[in-house]
Amino acid sequence: MAGTEDVRQYVIFRLGPEEYGLPIAKVSSIIRYEPATPVPRSPEIVDGVINLRGRVIPVVNLAKKLFDTDFHPSSSSRIIVAEGEAGLVGLAVDAASEVVSIAVADILDPPETALTAETAEVFEGVARCEDRLIILLDLDKALPRGDYDSSASGEITEGDEDV
C-alpha cells in the first residue's frame, strides 16, 4: 500500500535544455526575473542581491555554478527563492514550469560514471516523470553558504585592511 511517504513533490525548472527539480519544501516563492544589484567583491556565482518583501537576498547564477556558463535572462526567466540550511537564496533559472509529484520508486541514483565526485553529491537523483528525465538537486549540497556569501557579507577578512 502506497502512503504519502512514497511520493515527493518537486518544483520543476529549466536551465538550458535540461529540466531540474527542487523539493517543494525548500521553495518559498517563484518570481519574475529581475536584474540583481551587483555586490562588490562577491563570489563569481553571485549576480548580486534583490529586495524581496523587505529582505535582501543573494541571487545565484545557477548556470555559472553548475556549468560554468553565463546566464542569459529572457521573458520566461524566473528567480526561485529557496531556503536551505544556509538561509534564503534566489536561483536564476531559464523557466519554472510546474510542480510534480514523483514516486520515490521513480527516483534513480545519479550516474556516477558520468559525474565528478564534486558534482555527484549535488544531485539527489534522476527521476522518470512521464516521458522525460528530471535531475533532482540537493539545494544544501549544490549551494553551500560559503559559495554565495563569503565575500558579500561586508566583513573584513585578513589581508583586506589595506584595500
**In this model, does residue 162 exceed pLDDT 60?**
no
pLDDT digits (tens, 9 = 90+) for 5-24: 699 999 999 998 999 999 99
pLDDT digits (tens, 9 = 90+) for 31-67: 999 999 999 999 989 999 999 999 999 999 988 888 8
Q: Which grid cell is 161? A: 585592511
Please write down the long-range contacts of 55-60, taking CB distance under 8 Å and 24 or more positions apart. Answer: 55/88, 57/81, 57/88, 57/89, 57/90, 58/89, 58/90, 58/148, 58/149, 58/152, 59/89, 59/90, 59/91, 59/92, 60/89, 60/90, 60/91, 60/92, 60/143, 60/147, 60/148
Which domains occur in the chain, in start order? Answer: 4-143 (2.40.50.180)
**What backbone phi and psi angles, to 5 degrees, belong to 9?**
-105, 140
pLDDT digits (tens, 9 = 90+) for 121-131: 788 889 988 88
Helix (H, G, I), strand (E, B) or coil at 87: strand
